[in-house]
Structure 1
């Protein structure tokens, strides 16, 4: 059996290829895919390939801080959100770091401005590496120190 880390229902995650560190994320085993709150999504061609540019506000309490990102489009999917509405979303694939694990995850880009956490970490991203203790928070962060 693979060595899995126990994580809480809230953890901080790094997305190094996007320049994001210590982003609080809600771990949601009920959601298949992960999602990230972004603004100003624009489809572009980057080095001759389809890509998206978007803004991330990595500090929820400091909306003045903005990171402009660019990533290749991995897919476009119809996703049903927690409120039951379906929408087409761009999907990117990027490295994630949580505790001692660094791995590739798929993230849908959407408006999560009405949510408490800017990122939702779905079961597709955590299935191979983690068990979730829903009664705990920031377990991986404490082990990393």
Structure 2
């Protein structure tokens, strides 16, 4: 590459806001409020692990996702990819289960990895990290709900 020359993406990237409602279709989860966090490497889902098991020679994990506002508790199963040391925003490293499942943001659907963690003290039950965002999205940190059907896009950040 010649100095000053930039690689141009082959297709235009979808712009998303700093928060979006997302779906995990294979898990039967929709309209999950997610914080888009390009500072985090790994995506994370608020879940309580019930058990790990094997099915047809592949490792799986069964876990529960709670939606306290609607008093719904969803039991999910996904392929168990790995155990990883994940460093949280407070600098603490935790060993977490990582699963891989399709993620849908707006009209874009792809397979993504998520660590399963206790996010009950967090405002958002899901965090989408840069590994999932890479080569798919541009993040407009000044807007919300840009790819959320039924939600009017919002300008600015209101904690």
**TM-score, normalised on structure 2?**
0.84
What pairs with 1:32-111 in structure 2 (closer than 5 Å)? 32-57=41-66, 59-62=67-70, 64-111=71-118
Question: What's the Cα RMSD here?
Answer: 1.8
Report the equivalent of 2:14: 5
Corresponding residue pairs, total: 143
Higher RCO structure, 1 or 2 (CA under 8 Å, sep 6+) = 1
Cα deviation for residue 46 of structure 1 reads 2.6
Report the equivalent of 1:16: 25
Cα deviation for residue 42 of structure 1 reads 1.6
Cα deviation for residue 9 of structure 1 reads 0.3
Report the equivalent of 1:120: 127
CA shift digits 1:75-110 (9 cap, x unpaired): 111110111111111111110111111111111101
SS at match of 1:66: strand
CA contact (8 A) 1:99 1:143 kept: no
Cα deviation for residue 127 of structure 1 reads 1.1
CA separation in 2, counterparts of 1:98 and 1:60?
Answer: 22
- Structure 1: gaps of 5 or more residues: none
Greater than 6 Å deviation, 4+ residue runs: none
CA separation in 2, counterparts of 1:122 and 1:36?
Answer: 11
Cα deviation for residue 144 of structure 1 reads 9.4
- Higher helix proportion: 1
CA separation in 1, counterparts of 2:149 and 2:58?
Answer: 40
In structure 2, relative to structure 1, the CA distance for the partners of 1:8 and 1:21 (3 Å cut) is same
CA separation in 1, counterparts of 2:16 and 2:76?
Answer: 28
